[in-house]
């Protein structure tokens, strides 16, 4: 989608700090981090929300990517939080499916 910020990042039309990339998924640093480590795990293909993605293999890859990043960053034992905000009341602001990966401080309560 031409007016979607994450599509533009996937197509390298705008810059982002990309930490990992596969054929289907990319990991970038959140531009407005809410924790010392705040990554976004994003499918390259455009899905508006989690509700629009029936590709269970891809959804599984998002989780596997979270685990891989946790291992690589040495955060697996310390802990982290993954979140998929979905639609308006879920707090979604960018309507291209993405998973937040947050770590590096105690994340207390529902959203820390
Ligand atoms: P959400 O509220 O779940 O839709 O989260 C959207 C996230 O995308 C927010 O945490 C933003 O800080 C982040 N974000 C928006 N634009 C960019 C960008 N160009 N590069 C990296 N992160 C972004
Ligand atoms: Zn998109």
Average pLDDT of 39-53? 98
Mean pLDDT score across all residues of the chain: 96
- Whole-number Cα distances in Å, 106 to 28, 81, 98, 110, 112: 22, 10, 22, 12, 8
Encoded tokens for 32: 């407005």
Cα–Cα distance between 108 and 27 in angstroms, integer? 24
38: three-class secondary structure by DSSP: strand
Band of the pLDDT at 110, cuts 50, 70, 90?
A: low
pLDDT of residue 2: 82
Of the bound ligands, which one is closest to the alpha carbon of residue 11? 2
Write down the pLDDT at residue 103: 97
In the reported structure, the alpha carbon of residue 89 is separated from the centroid of ligand 2 by a whole-number distance in angstroms of 20
Cα of 46 vs centre of ligand 2, distance in Å, is 4
- Interstrand relation of 81-83 and 37-43 (parallel, antiparallel or unpaired): unpaired
The predicted pLDDT at position 9 comes to 98
From the options 3.40.50.1370, 3.30.428.10, 3.20.20.10, 3.40.50.10490, give the CATH code of 5-103: 3.30.428.10
Q: What was the pLDDT predicted at 70?
A: 98
Reported as a pLDDT band with limits 50, 70 and 90, residue 1 is confident
Q: Which residues are catalytic?
A: 98
The DSSP call for residue 14 is S
In this structure, the residues whose C-beta lies within 6 A of any atom of ligand 1 are 5, 16, 28, 30-32, 40, 85, 91-94
Q: Using CA atoms of 67, 100, 105, 71 in order, give the dihedral in degrees to the nearest 10.
A: 10
- Range 67-89 burial, b when 16+ CB lie within 10 A, else e: ebbbeebebeeeebebbebeeee
- If pLDDT is split at 50, 70 and 90, which confidence band does 85 have? very high
């Amino acid at each position: 989608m031409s007016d979607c910020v994450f599509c533009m990042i996937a197509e390298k039309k705008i810059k982002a700090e990309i930490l990992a990339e596969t054929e289907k998924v990319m990991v970038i640093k959140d531009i407005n981090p809410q924790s010392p480590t705040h990554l976004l795990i994003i499918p390259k293909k455009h899905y508006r929300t989690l509700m629009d993605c029936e590709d269970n293999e891809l959804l599984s890859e998002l989780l596997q990517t979270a685990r891989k990043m946790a291992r690589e960053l040495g955060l697996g034992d310390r802990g982290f939080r993954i979140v998929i905000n979905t639609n308006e009341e879920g707090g979604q602001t960018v309507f291209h499916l993405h998973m937040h990966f947050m770590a590096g401080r105690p994340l207390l309560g529902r959203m820390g």
